[in-house]
A and B are shown apart, each in its own frame.
Chain A
Amino acid sequence: MTAEKGDVIISVKDLKKYYNGESIKALDGVTTDIRKGEVVVIIGPSGSGKSTFLRSLNLLERPTSGTITFDGVDITSKATDINKLRQRMGMVFQHFNLFPHLTIIKNMTLGPIKLRGMSKAEAERRSKVLLERVGLVDRADAYPSQLSGGQKQRIAIVRALAMNPDVMLFDEPTSALDPEMVGEVLEVMKDLAKSGMTMVCVTHEMGFAREVGTRVIFMDCGKIIEENTPEQIFTNPQNERLVSFLQKVL
Chain B
Amino acid sequence: MLSFLSSLYSGVVFLAGEAAGQSSSGSAGDIWQSLRDDFINNFISEKRYMYLLKGLGITFQVTFFAALLGILLGIVVALIRSSYDKLKDEMRPGFAKGLLGFFNFIAKFYLTIIRGTPVVVQLMIAYFIIFAASNNKVLVAILAFGFNSGAYVAEIIRSGIMSIDNGQFEAGRSLGFGYIRTMIHIIIPQAFKNVLPALANEFIVLIKETSVSGYVGLQDLTKGGDIIRSRTYSAFMPLIAVALIYLVIVIFFSRMVTLLERRLRNSDR
Contact = CB atoms under 8 A, between A and B. Distances in A.
A160 B175 contact: yes
A93 B171 contact: yes
* Secondary structure dominating the interface of B: helix
A86 B173 contact: yes
A245 interface: no
A247 interface: no
Nearest to B194: A101
Interface stretch (A8-16, A22-30, A109-117, A203-211): A109-117
Interface in B162-210: 165, 167-168, 170-171, 173-178, 181, 185-186, 189-190, 193
A65 B186 CA distance: 31
A163 B176 contact: yes
Contacts of B170: 60, 91, 93, 97
Contacts of A101: 189-190, 193, 267-268
B269 interface: yes
B46 interface: no
Contacts of A98: 171
Given A143-B268, A143-B269, A145-B268, A99 B171 contact: yes
Contact of A97 (B171, B177, B193, B267): B171
Contacts of B90: 62
Contacts of A87: 175-176
Contacts of B175: 86-87, 110-111, 115, 159-160, 163
Interface string A78-117: 1000011111011101010111110000000011001100
Nearest to B269: A145
B75 to A, nearest CB: 16
A225 to B, nearest CB: 27
Interface string A140-173: 0001011000000000000110010000000000
A111 B176 contact: yes
B132 to A, nearest CB: 45
A56 interface: no
Contact of B168 (A99, A110, A143): A99
A58 interface: yes
Contacts of B171: 91, 93, 97-99
Contacts of A160: 174-175
B176 A60 contact: no
A115 to B, nearest CB: 5
A16 to B, nearest CB: 16
B173 A115 contact: no
B190 A91 contact: no
A21 B170 CA distance: 24
A62 to B, nearest CB: 6
A172 B268 CA distance: 25
Given A93-B170, A101-B190, A83 B176 contact: yes
A91 B172 CA distance: 10
Contacts of B185: 110, 114
Contacts of B268: 100-101, 143, 145
B168 A83 contact: no
Contact of A100 (B92, B173, B190): B190
Interface string B230-269: 0000000000000000000000000000000000000111
Given A143-B267, A143-B268, A145-B268, A99 B177 contact: no
Contacts of A86: 173-176
A123 to B, nearest CB: 13
B167 A114 contact: no
B173 A99 contact: no
Given A99-B168, A100-B190, A101-B190, A89 B269 contact: no
Nearest to A100: B268
Contacts of A60: 170, 173-174
Contacts of B165: 97
A99 B267 CA distance: 12
A17 to B, nearest CB: 12
A101 B173 CA distance: 17
Interface of B: 90, 92, 165, 167-168, 170-171, 173-178, 181, 185-186, 189-190, 193, 267-269
8 A-B pairs closest in CB distance: A87-B176, A97-B171, A91-B174, A97-B167, A86-B176, A111-B175, A145-B268, A83-B178
